[in-house]
Structure 1
Protein backbone atom coordinates (compact mmCIF):
# COMPACT_ATOMS: atom_id res chain seq x y z
CA UNK A 1 0.00 0.00 0.00
CA UNK A 2 2.89 2.34 0.77
CA UNK A 3 4.31 1.86 -2.72
CA UNK A 4 0.91 1.91 -4.41
CA UNK A 5 -0.08 5.32 -3.03
CA UNK A 6 3.39 6.82 -2.69
CA UNK A 7 3.24 7.22 1.10
CA UNK A 8 6.49 8.56 2.51
CA UNK A 9 5.92 7.80 6.20
CA UNK A 10 4.35 4.66 7.68
CA UNK A 11 3.85 3.85 11.38
CA UNK A 12 3.36 0.45 12.99
CA UNK A 13 3.45 1.77 16.57
CA UNK A 14 0.85 4.22 17.91
CA UNK A 15 3.18 5.75 20.49
CA UNK A 16 5.80 6.51 17.85
CA UNK A 17 3.08 7.86 15.60
CA UNK A 18 1.79 10.21 18.31
CA UNK A 19 5.31 11.50 18.98
CA UNK A 20 5.98 12.22 15.31
CA UNK A 21 5.98 15.80 14.02
CA UNK A 22 5.22 14.78 10.44
CA UNK A 23 1.46 15.40 10.76
CA UNK A 24 -0.95 17.65 12.67
CA UNK A 25 -4.22 15.69 12.75
CA UNK A 26 -5.43 12.11 12.82
CA UNK A 27 -8.62 10.26 11.85
CA UNK A 28 -9.54 7.43 14.24
CA UNK A 29 -11.62 4.59 12.79
CA UNK A 30 -10.64 1.73 15.09
CA UNK A 31 -13.11 -0.43 17.07
CA UNK A 32 -15.38 1.67 19.30
CA UNK A 33 -13.80 0.58 22.57
CA UNK A 34 -10.40 1.95 21.48
CA UNK A 35 -11.56 5.44 20.49
CA UNK A 36 -10.99 7.13 23.84
CA UNK A 37 -7.57 5.61 24.53
CA UNK A 38 -6.25 6.43 21.07
CA UNK A 39 -7.77 9.92 21.00
CA UNK A 40 -6.26 10.77 24.38
CA UNK A 41 -2.85 9.54 23.22
CA UNK A 42 -2.95 11.68 20.09
CA UNK A 43 -4.29 14.78 21.83
CA UNK A 44 -1.61 14.36 24.48
CA UNK A 45 0.92 15.00 21.71
CA UNK A 46 -0.93 18.04 20.33
CA UNK A 47 -2.65 16.21 17.48
CA UNK A 48 -6.13 17.27 16.35
CA UNK A 49 -8.56 14.33 16.27
CA UNK A 50 -11.46 13.43 13.99
CA UNK A 51 -13.00 10.37 15.66
CA UNK A 52 -15.47 7.98 14.08
CA UNK A 53 -18.90 7.52 15.59
CA UNK A 54 -19.77 6.55 18.21
CA UNK A 55 -17.35 8.90 19.94
CA UNK A 56 -16.61 6.42 22.74
CA UNK A 57 -18.07 3.52 24.71
CA UNK A 58 -20.00 5.64 27.22
CA UNK A 59 -20.63 9.15 28.49
CA UNK A 60 -17.76 9.29 30.99
CA UNK A 61 -15.22 8.56 28.27
CA UNK A 62 -16.69 11.27 26.05
CA UNK A 63 -16.56 13.81 28.88
CA UNK A 64 -12.91 12.97 29.56
CA UNK A 65 -12.05 13.34 25.88
CA UNK A 66 -13.76 16.72 25.59
CA UNK A 67 -12.17 17.99 28.80
CA UNK A 68 -8.73 16.94 27.57
CA UNK A 69 -9.23 18.68 24.23
CA UNK A 70 -10.52 21.93 25.75
CA UNK A 71 -8.60 22.42 28.96
CA UNK A 72 -5.44 20.36 28.81
CA UNK A 73 -4.24 20.18 25.25
CA UNK A 74 -6.28 22.87 23.43
CA UNK A 75 -6.69 20.84 20.26
CA UNK A 76 -9.66 20.23 17.97
CA UNK A 77 -11.69 17.10 18.73
CA UNK A 78 -14.64 16.23 16.48
CA UNK A 79 -16.91 13.25 15.94
CA UNK A 80 -17.11 12.06 12.33
CA UNK A 81 -20.90 12.30 12.07
CA UNK A 82 -21.70 14.19 8.87
CA UNK A 83 -25.50 13.77 8.88
CA UNK A 84 -26.28 17.08 10.57
CA UNK A 85 -24.05 18.97 8.10
CA UNK A 86 -25.72 17.64 4.94
CA UNK A 87 -27.75 20.16 2.88
CA UNK A 88 -30.93 18.07 3.01
CA UNK A 89 -30.77 17.79 6.79
CA UNK A 90 -30.15 21.52 7.16
CA UNK A 91 -33.28 22.09 5.06
CA UNK A 92 -35.26 19.89 7.47
CA UNK A 93 -33.98 21.87 10.44
CA UNK A 94 -34.74 25.20 8.77
CA UNK A 95 -38.31 24.32 7.71
CA UNK A 96 -39.40 21.87 10.41
CA UNK A 97 -41.65 24.41 12.13
CA UNK A 98 -43.71 24.75 8.92
CA UNK A 99 -45.13 21.27 9.53
CA UNK A 100 -46.87 22.46 12.66
CA UNK A 101 -46.46 20.84 16.09
CA UNK A 102 -44.46 17.62 15.76
CA UNK A 103 -46.29 14.68 17.32
CA UNK A 104 -44.13 11.73 16.39
CA UNK A 105 -40.78 10.89 14.80
CA UNK A 106 -40.34 7.35 13.50
CA UNK A 107 -37.00 6.09 12.18
CA UNK A 108 -35.74 2.74 10.92
CA UNK A 109 -32.22 1.57 10.15
CA UNK A 110 -32.03 -2.07 9.14
CA UNK A 111 -28.87 -3.36 7.50
CA UNK A 112 -27.62 -6.85 6.76
CA UNK A 113 -24.15 -6.73 8.27
CA UNK A 114 -21.38 -7.68 5.85
CA UNK A 115 -19.94 -9.80 8.67
CA UNK A 116 -23.16 -11.54 9.70
CA UNK A 117 -22.66 -14.58 7.44
CA UNK A 118 -19.22 -15.13 8.99
CA UNK A 119 -20.80 -14.84 12.45
CA UNK A 120 -23.47 -17.41 11.54
CA UNK A 121 -20.79 -19.81 10.33
CA UNK A 122 -19.12 -19.79 13.73
CA UNK A 123 -16.59 -16.99 13.41
CA UNK A 124 -16.57 -14.00 15.76
CA UNK A 125 -15.80 -10.82 13.79
CA UNK A 126 -15.03 -7.63 15.70
CA UNK A 127 -18.47 -6.24 14.83
CA UNK A 128 -20.06 -8.88 17.08
CA UNK A 129 -17.72 -8.58 20.08
CA UNK A 130 -19.30 -6.81 23.07
CA UNK A 131 -15.89 -6.05 24.60
CA UNK A 132 -15.27 -3.72 21.64
CA UNK A 133 -18.50 -1.79 22.39
CA UNK A 134 -20.24 -3.02 19.26
CA UNK A 135 -23.87 -3.87 18.54
CA UNK A 136 -26.81 -2.54 16.57
CA UNK A 137 -27.36 0.58 18.68
CA UNK A 138 -23.70 1.60 18.76
CA UNK A 139 -22.95 0.79 15.12
CA UNK A 140 -26.05 1.96 13.24
CA UNK A 141 -28.54 3.20 15.85
CA UNK A 142 -26.38 6.26 16.36
CA UNK A 143 -27.47 7.43 12.89
CA UNK A 144 -31.04 7.68 14.21
CA UNK A 145 -30.40 9.01 17.70
CA UNK A 146 -27.95 11.73 16.66
CA UNK A 147 -30.17 13.78 14.31
CA UNK A 148 -33.17 13.63 16.64
CA UNK A 149 -31.13 14.88 19.60
CA UNK A 150 -29.74 17.58 17.32
CA UNK A 151 -33.24 18.72 16.32
CA UNK A 152 -35.11 18.37 19.61
CA UNK A 153 -32.51 18.20 22.38
CA UNK A 154 -32.37 15.70 25.21
CA UNK A 155 -35.60 13.77 25.91
CA UNK A 156 -37.45 13.63 29.21
CA UNK A 157 -37.49 9.84 29.27
CA UNK A 158 -35.77 7.00 27.41
CA UNK A 159 -37.06 3.44 27.03
CA UNK A 160 -34.90 0.92 25.18
CA UNK A 161 -35.24 -2.77 24.42
CA UNK A 162 -32.95 -5.11 22.54
CA UNK A 163 -32.32 -8.69 21.53
CA UNK A 164 -28.87 -10.02 22.34
CA UNK A 165 -27.12 -12.46 20.07
CA UNK A 166 -25.18 -15.37 21.55
CA UNK A 167 -21.96 -13.31 21.51
CA UNK A 168 -23.54 -10.75 23.84
CA UNK A 169 -24.08 -7.84 21.44
CA UNK A 170 -27.52 -6.50 20.60
CA UNK A 171 -28.55 -7.68 17.15
CA UNK A 172 -31.68 -5.55 17.05
CA UNK A 173 -33.65 -3.25 19.26
CA UNK A 174 -35.96 -0.31 19.67
CA UNK A 175 -35.62 3.03 21.44
CA UNK A 176 -38.41 5.36 22.54
CA UNK A 177 -37.59 8.98 23.39
CA UNK A 178 -40.32 10.93 25.19
CA UNK A 179 -40.55 14.71 24.80
CA UNK A 180 -43.12 17.27 25.87
CA UNK A 181 -45.84 16.89 23.25
CA UNK A 182 -44.17 14.29 21.02
CA UNK A 183 -42.11 11.12 20.93
CA UNK A 184 -39.40 9.58 18.77
CA UNK A 185 -39.35 5.85 18.05
CA UNK A 186 -36.38 4.02 16.50
CA UNK A 187 -36.05 0.49 15.14
CA UNK A 188 -32.56 -0.94 14.57
CA UNK A 189 -31.62 -4.30 13.04
CA UNK A 190 -28.22 -5.65 11.94
CA UNK A 191 -29.32 -8.73 10.00
CA UNK A 192 -31.91 -7.48 7.52
CA UNK A 193 -31.56 -5.81 4.14
CA UNK A 194 -30.97 -2.08 4.11
CA UNK A 195 -33.73 0.27 5.17
CA UNK A 196 -32.86 3.78 6.29
CA UNK A 197 -35.89 5.96 6.86
CA UNK A 198 -36.74 9.00 8.96
CA UNK A 199 -40.34 10.26 9.16
CA UNK A 200 -41.90 13.21 10.94
CA UNK A 201 -45.59 13.21 11.84
CA UNK A 202 -47.17 16.54 12.64
CA UNK A 203 -50.54 18.10 13.21
CA UNK A 204 -51.07 20.13 10.07
CA UNK A 205 -52.64 23.61 10.13
CA UNK A 206 -55.17 24.77 11.04
CA UNK A 207 -54.42 23.53 14.57
Structure 2
Protein backbone atom coordinates (compact mmCIF):
# COMPACT_ATOMS: atom_id res chain seq x y z
CA UNK A 1 0.00 0.00 0.00
CA UNK A 2 1.61 3.13 -1.20
CA UNK A 3 1.50 6.17 0.91
CA UNK A 4 1.69 9.60 -0.63
CA UNK A 5 4.13 11.74 1.22
CA UNK A 6 3.28 15.37 1.16
CA UNK A 7 6.38 17.54 1.03
CA UNK A 8 6.17 21.07 2.34
CA UNK A 9 8.20 23.72 0.62
CA UNK A 10 10.39 25.24 3.32
CA UNK A 11 12.31 27.39 0.87
CA UNK A 12 9.56 29.95 0.76
CA UNK A 13 10.25 32.97 2.91
CA UNK A 14 7.92 33.61 5.83
CA UNK A 15 5.34 36.21 5.18
CA UNK A 16 6.17 39.53 6.73
CA UNK A 17 3.81 41.01 9.26
CA UNK A 18 2.26 44.17 7.93
CA UNK A 19 2.78 47.19 10.15
CA UNK A 20 -0.25 48.93 11.56
CA UNK A 21 -2.20 51.02 9.13
CA UNK A 22 -1.48 54.21 11.06
CA UNK A 23 2.27 53.66 10.64
CA UNK A 24 2.00 52.42 7.05
CA UNK A 25 0.12 55.51 5.88
CA UNK A 26 2.39 58.58 5.65
CA UNK A 27 -0.59 60.94 5.52
CA UNK A 28 -1.51 60.08 9.12
CA UNK A 29 1.93 61.21 10.27
CA UNK A 30 1.51 64.48 8.38
CA UNK A 31 -1.94 65.00 9.87
CA UNK A 32 -0.56 64.54 13.38
CA UNK A 33 2.24 66.98 12.73
CA UNK A 34 -0.23 69.49 11.23
CA UNK A 35 -2.47 69.47 14.30
CA UNK A 36 0.50 69.78 16.65
CA UNK A 37 2.04 72.64 14.67
CA UNK A 38 -1.30 74.46 14.42
CA UNK A 39 -1.90 74.10 18.16
CA UNK A 40 1.56 75.44 18.98
CA UNK A 41 1.13 78.38 16.62
CA UNK A 42 -2.24 79.22 18.16
CA UNK A 43 -0.77 79.10 21.67
CA UNK A 44 2.00 81.52 20.66
CA UNK A 45 -0.51 83.76 18.84
CA UNK A 46 -2.79 83.91 21.89
CA UNK A 47 0.15 84.83 24.11
CA UNK A 48 1.12 87.62 21.73
CA UNK A 49 -2.35 89.11 21.37
CA UNK A 50 -4.29 88.38 24.55
CA UNK A 51 -1.72 87.95 27.32
CA UNK A 52 0.78 90.83 27.14
CA UNK A 53 1.72 90.52 30.83
CA UNK A 54 2.96 87.01 30.11
CA UNK A 55 5.32 88.48 27.51
CA UNK A 56 6.68 90.90 30.10
CA UNK A 57 7.18 88.06 32.58
CA UNK A 58 9.04 85.93 30.05
CA UNK A 59 11.23 88.81 28.88
CA UNK A 60 12.43 89.78 32.36
CA UNK A 61 15.95 88.81 33.37
CA UNK A 62 17.32 88.05 36.80
CA UNK A 63 19.38 91.25 37.00
CA UNK A 64 16.70 93.64 35.73
CA UNK A 65 15.98 96.39 38.23
CA UNK A 66 12.95 98.03 36.64
CA UNK A 67 9.80 96.02 36.10
CA UNK A 68 7.20 97.23 33.67
CA UNK A 69 3.49 96.56 33.98
CA UNK A 70 2.51 97.18 30.36
CA UNK A 71 3.97 96.91 26.87
CA UNK A 72 4.99 99.97 24.91
CA UNK A 73 2.77 100.95 21.97
CA UNK A 74 5.37 99.62 19.51
CA UNK A 75 5.60 96.30 21.31
CA UNK A 76 1.82 95.99 21.42
CA UNK A 77 1.56 96.79 17.71
CA UNK A 78 4.17 94.24 16.67
CA UNK A 79 2.85 91.55 19.01
CA UNK A 80 -0.73 91.97 17.80
CA UNK A 81 0.14 91.78 14.12
CA UNK A 82 2.50 88.86 14.60
CA UNK A 83 -0.26 87.02 16.45
CA UNK A 84 -2.68 87.62 13.58
CA UNK A 85 -0.26 86.24 11.00
CA UNK A 86 0.59 83.23 13.15
CA UNK A 87 -3.13 82.49 13.46
CA UNK A 88 -3.49 82.66 9.68
CA UNK A 89 -0.59 80.24 9.23
CA UNK A 90 -2.13 77.85 11.77
CA UNK A 91 -5.44 77.90 9.91
CA UNK A 92 -3.64 77.31 6.60
CA UNK A 93 -1.77 74.32 8.06
CA UNK A 94 -5.02 72.73 9.23
CA UNK A 95 -6.91 73.42 5.99
CA UNK A 96 -4.16 71.87 3.86
CA UNK A 97 -3.83 68.58 5.66
CA UNK A 98 -3.82 65.60 3.26
CA UNK A 99 -7.16 63.86 2.91
CA UNK A 100 -7.81 60.21 2.22
CA UNK A 101 -7.62 58.99 -1.41
CA UNK A 102 -11.34 58.13 -1.42
CA UNK A 103 -12.25 61.71 -0.56
CA UNK A 104 -9.91 63.06 -3.23
CA UNK A 105 -11.63 60.95 -5.86
CA UNK A 106 -15.06 62.26 -4.87
CA UNK A 107 -14.00 65.89 -4.99
CA UNK A 108 -14.59 67.62 -8.35
CA UNK A 109 -11.60 68.90 -10.21
CA UNK A 110 -11.00 72.52 -9.36
CA UNK A 111 -8.74 75.08 -11.00
CA UNK A 112 -5.26 75.46 -9.49
CA UNK A 113 -5.00 77.83 -6.56
CA UNK A 114 -2.69 78.69 -3.71
CA UNK A 115 -3.62 77.03 -0.40
CA UNK A 116 -2.50 80.12 1.53
CA UNK A 117 -4.66 82.51 -0.48
CA UNK A 118 -7.76 82.69 1.74
CA UNK A 119 -6.05 82.58 5.18
CA UNK A 120 -3.42 85.18 4.30
CA UNK A 121 -5.94 87.42 2.54
CA UNK A 122 -8.11 87.33 5.66
CA UNK A 123 -5.12 88.12 7.87
CA UNK A 124 -4.07 90.97 5.57
CA UNK A 125 -7.55 92.51 5.78
CA UNK A 126 -7.47 92.29 9.57
CA UNK A 127 -3.96 93.76 9.89
CA UNK A 128 -4.86 96.58 7.50
CA UNK A 129 -7.88 97.42 9.66
CA UNK A 130 -5.84 97.31 12.87
CA UNK A 131 -3.04 99.41 11.36
CA UNK A 132 -5.50 102.01 10.12
CA UNK A 133 -6.89 102.44 13.66
CA UNK A 134 -3.46 102.58 15.36
CA UNK A 135 -2.06 106.06 15.96
CA UNK A 136 0.62 105.40 18.59
CA UNK A 137 3.45 104.11 16.39
CA UNK A 138 3.67 106.89 13.84
CA UNK A 139 4.60 106.07 10.26
CA UNK A 140 5.01 102.36 10.96
CA UNK A 141 1.24 101.93 11.11
CA UNK A 142 0.87 103.60 7.71
CA UNK A 143 3.55 101.40 6.13
CA UNK A 144 1.97 98.22 7.49
CA UNK A 145 -1.47 99.48 6.45
CA UNK A 146 -0.40 100.08 2.85
CA UNK A 147 1.40 96.74 2.53
CA UNK A 148 -1.44 94.78 4.10
CA UNK A 149 -4.02 96.61 2.02
CA UNK A 150 -2.22 95.73 -1.22
CA UNK A 151 -2.07 92.05 -0.25
CA UNK A 152 -5.70 92.10 0.92
CA UNK A 153 -7.16 93.77 -2.18
CA UNK A 154 -5.06 91.69 -4.55
CA UNK A 155 -6.06 88.53 -2.69
CA UNK A 156 -9.74 89.45 -2.84
CA UNK A 157 -9.43 90.09 -6.56
CA UNK A 158 -7.80 86.70 -7.09
CA UNK A 159 -10.52 84.97 -5.04
CA UNK A 160 -13.29 86.58 -7.09
CA UNK A 161 -11.74 86.73 -10.57
CA UNK A 162 -8.69 84.45 -10.37
CA UNK A 163 -10.44 81.41 -11.85
CA UNK A 164 -12.01 83.32 -14.73
CA UNK A 165 -9.80 81.50 -17.21
CA UNK A 166 -11.46 78.23 -16.23
CA UNK A 167 -15.07 78.93 -15.29
CA UNK A 168 -15.88 82.52 -16.22
CA UNK A 169 -18.03 81.85 -19.28
CA UNK A 170 -21.00 79.61 -19.88
CA UNK A 171 -20.73 76.84 -22.44
CA UNK A 172 -23.73 77.93 -24.52
CA UNK A 173 -23.72 81.72 -24.57
CA UNK A 174 -20.23 82.64 -23.39
CA UNK A 175 -21.63 85.04 -20.76
CA UNK A 176 -19.38 86.02 -17.90
CA UNK A 177 -20.50 84.11 -14.81
CA UNK A 178 -18.67 86.46 -12.44
CA UNK A 179 -20.38 89.66 -13.57
CA UNK A 180 -23.79 88.07 -14.14
CA UNK A 181 -24.16 86.68 -10.62
CA UNK A 182 -23.63 87.79 -7.02
CA UNK A 183 -22.14 90.22 -6.03
CA UNK A 184 -22.14 92.23 -9.24
CA UNK A 185 -25.51 91.18 -10.64
CA UNK A 186 -24.85 92.37 -14.20
CA UNK A 187 -27.76 90.51 -15.75
CA UNK A 188 -27.87 92.88 -18.72
CA UNK A 189 -24.50 91.73 -20.05
CA UNK A 190 -25.53 88.11 -19.72
CA UNK A 191 -28.86 88.69 -21.50
CA UNK A 192 -27.11 90.43 -24.41
CA UNK A 193 -24.77 87.49 -24.88
CA UNK A 194 -27.73 85.11 -24.71
CA UNK A 195 -29.69 87.06 -27.35
CA UNK A 196 -26.64 87.09 -29.60
CA UNK A 197 -26.27 83.35 -29.18
CA UNK A 198 -29.95 82.79 -30.08
CA UNK A 199 -29.58 84.89 -33.25
CA UNK A 200 -26.56 82.86 -34.29
CA UNK A 201 -28.50 79.66 -33.72
CA UNK A 202 -31.38 80.89 -35.90
CA UNK A 203 -28.99 81.80 -38.70
CA UNK A 204 -27.41 78.37 -38.51
CA UNK A 205 -30.80 76.74 -39.03
Q: Which band: TM-score by shorter chain? A: under 0.3
Higher strand share: 1
Which structure is larger by alpha-carbon Rg, 1 or 2?
A: 2
| Structure with the larger RCO, 1 or 2 (CA within 8 Å, 6+ apart) | 1
Q: TM-score, normalised by structure 1?
A: 0.23
TM norm structure 2: 0.23
